[in-house]
Amino acid sequence: MTFNVQIKVMPLKDLLDPQGKAVLGGLKNLEIHSVEDVRVGKHVTLAIDASSESEAKQIAEDAAKKLLANPVMEFYEIETLNL
Amino acid sequence: MTFNVQIKVMPLKDLLDPQGKAVLGGLKNLEIHSVEDVRVGKHVTLAIDASSESEAKQIAEDAAKKLLANPVMEFYEIETLNL
């Protein structure tokens, strides 16, 4: 079965996020003033062939740890959807 | 009130996603073979000061259209959370 797993990788809350600050500046220039804070990260969608949702989640966890997220600067969250 | 709005910006389904292909190659090198497809996009978190959830969503929609997503190559999805 193919599972559609979503992984969100964001900069850690305590770290500066220069890309987010740049977007915030851009929004001010566009006269959008009610946005107070912006953080920009990655969104990764994986199509995983696995026999169960928990197996798919485990594979995604493995992929996030080994390749997608740098734990020194980022955290990740995983969400599974059955296709 | 401050609303926490999540925007997911992904490459359109019909387009090639070189970053996703690179991640897929990286996963194969790490002996993770059950991942069949990878797409990589942006995940943006906005803290928006608004009087209602629908107003916050409207502002996020505006920001996504004007700055965050390029409709020629990307689509976006918005999700609101009340902080």
Distance, in Å, from the CA atom of B83 to the CA atom of B81, rounded to the nearest integer, reads 6
Is residue A6 a contact partner of residue A82, using CB atoms and an 8 Å limit?
Answer: no
Is residue B79 a contact partner of residue B43, using CB atoms and an 8 Å limit?
Answer: no
This prediction's pTM:
0.90
Distance, in Å, from the CA atom of A66 to the CA atom of B70, rounded to the nearest integer, reads 30
Candidates A1, A4, A29, A32: best to mutate against B (most CBs of B within 10 A) is A32
Distances (CA, A) of B83 to A38, B1, B49, B61, B64: 14, 8, 11, 18, 20
pLDDT tens track for B41-69: 999 999 999 999 999 999 999 999 999 99
pLDDT tens track for A29-70: 999 999 999 999 999 999 999 999 999 999 999 999 999 999
Q: Which residues of A touch B42 (CB under 8 A)?
A: 40-43
A37–B47 C-beta distance less than 8 A: yes
Is residue A46 a contact partner of residue A7, using CB atoms and an 8 Å limit?
Answer: yes
